[in-house]
Amino acid sequence: MNQGLTEWNVPNRIVFGSGAADEIGSYIEQFDAEQALIVTDEGVREADVLDPVLESIEAAGKEYTIFDGVQPDPTDTVVHEAADAYDDADADLVLGIGGGSSLDTAKAASIVVANGGRILDFKGSGNVPKSPPPSIYVPTTSGTGSEVGHWCIVKDSETNIKEEIGDVKLLADLALIDPNLTASAPPPVKAATGMDVLTHAIEAYVSIKAQSQTSAIALDSIEKVGENLTRAVEYRNGDLTALTAMARASMQAGMAFNGAGLGAVHALSHQVGGQFGVPHGLVNAILLPYVMEYNLPQVPEKFCNIAAALGESIDYDRRTQLEAHKAVRAVRELGDSVRIPVTLDATAAERDAIPQLAEQALDDGSLTGNPRITDQDDMEWILNRAFDGTFEYESRL
């Protein structure tokens, strides 16, 4: 691709608002579909989150089959099980409902349905030949923004390495975001997924591939998270105003990194999550301030803007790296407010794996957006700080 060109892909249709899930049957009718495969997980099904969706489908006189075998960090094995379920049901539409794992599984399964073969044959960018069947993606957490993205992550069941698959053909035909569906998520899930939103927005904002439109919605997303995450997490059954703001922030952050890409947080978190099963949002939340501290000298003016969006008072006449470091402090305080652990030592991740994790992260596609050039030593430096809980920003000025 010509380096002077930019590209930004988002779904051409997005429906957002409380009660949107109640209308899903009418949208299925618009696709002339008769049999939907619902891709979800047992937790969503058991929490009765599907009820308004199923009622709407039935009211429209349509049929559905539920595949609820999605697991966190979906593997190629699970993806092929979902694709087989689509074929067995003689389905003609994919309806992904759940968190990022469910939506990624739905996307990946749709690739196999349309193209055959093994899902990992399509890893990388732009390697999906045939368009998948019609798709509707409905998030039940405010986190990954997968409903508006053209990427999915699939873990290789043999190597435990998370592989990225991206293609504009994976964009939803309809992204339907109903904040009501996020209310039942447990507080720790809301906290981790909410910090995932912040990670997407910050990495997109400081990315070397950022564009004016991605930066604008990323910065707005950062502000929304700062103002609403704590209320969205802490209020019993959720504060609808805060949940709505978080759902919009998640959608916007997903749209932002569609064009701007991500950075070192995701490059590292994919490895930690793949090897040790640490939930994606949680490991992002822990790593974020350490990576910010590493990147800060490269783009201090952007970190000043992030700090201001998070409510910090910034002296723009100075615009020094010390002023910019207030962004790191604000992110740490926000994480503390929703009980995010400070270090990787509080997770199942193992310090002895740092060299391997750092080496693998260098090959992760997310790293291409990072504003500061990284090598093995840099990645190990970040991971060591994340295990120790130390911030040595001043010593690296």
Which pLDDT belongs to residue 317?
80
Residue 14 to residue 339: CA distance in whole angstroms: 32
Strand order in the sheet with 93-98: 14-16, 174-177, 135-139, 93-98, 35-39, 63-67
Q: Which two tokens stand for residue 75?
A: 């593997």
Tokens of 376: 């093995």
Give the H/E segment covering residue 36.
Answer: strand 35-39
Task: Enumerate residues 6+ apart whose C-beta is below 8 A from 262.
Answer: 200, 203, 204, 207, 366, 369
Give residue 117's region: left, alpha or beta (phi > 0; psi -120 to 50): left
**Residue 235 confidence (pLDDT):** 84
187-396 folds as Dehydroquinate synthase-like, alpha domain (1.20.1090)
The answer to whether 167 and 119 are in contact (CB under 8 A) is no
Mean residue pLDDT across the chain: 94
Phi, psi of 366 (to 5 degrees): -60, -25
Nearest residue to 67 (alpha-carbon basis) of 83, 46, 49, 47 = 83
pLDDT at 393: 55
At the top level of CATH, which class does the domain 14-182 belong to?
Answer: alpha beta
Look at residue 394 in the predicted model and tell me its pLDDT: 45
With 0.85 as the threshold, say if the pTM is over it: yes
CB neighbours of residue 51 within 10 Å: 11
pLDDT at 397: 33
Per-residue pLDDT of the chain (397 residues; tens, 9 = 90+): 455 788 898 988 999 999 999 999 999 999 999 999 999 999 999 988 999 999 999 999 999 999 999 999 999 999 999 999 999 999 999 999 999 999 999 999 999 999 999 999 999 999 999 999 999 999 999 999 999 999 999 999 999 999 999 999 999 999 999 999 999 899 999 999 999 999 999 999 999 999 999 999 999 999 999 999 999 998 876 799 999 999 999 999 999 999 999 999 999 999 999 999 999 999 999 999 999 999 999 999 999 999 999 999 999 887 788 899 999 999 999 999 999 999 999 999 999 999 999 999 999 999 999 999 999 999 999 999 999 998 865 444 3
CA distance 107 to 102: 9
Angle at 321 between CA 280 and CA 325, to 5 degrees: 40
DSSP 8-state assignment for residue 66: E
Phi-psi region at 312: left, alpha or beta (left = phi > 0; alpha = psi -120 to 50) = beta
The reported pLDDT for the residue numbered 79 is 98
CB burial of 239-260 (b: ≥16 within 10 Å; e: otherwise) equals beebbbbbbbbbbbbbbbbbbb
Note the pLDDT of residue 320: 84
For 268-302, what is each residue's pLDDT tens digit?
Answer: 999 999 999 999 999 999 999 999 999 999 999 99
- DSSP letter for 131, please: P
CA distance 95 to 137: 6
The two structure tokens encoding residue 163 = 């592989």
pLDDT at 3: 56
The ranges assigned to domains in the chain are: 14-182, 187-396
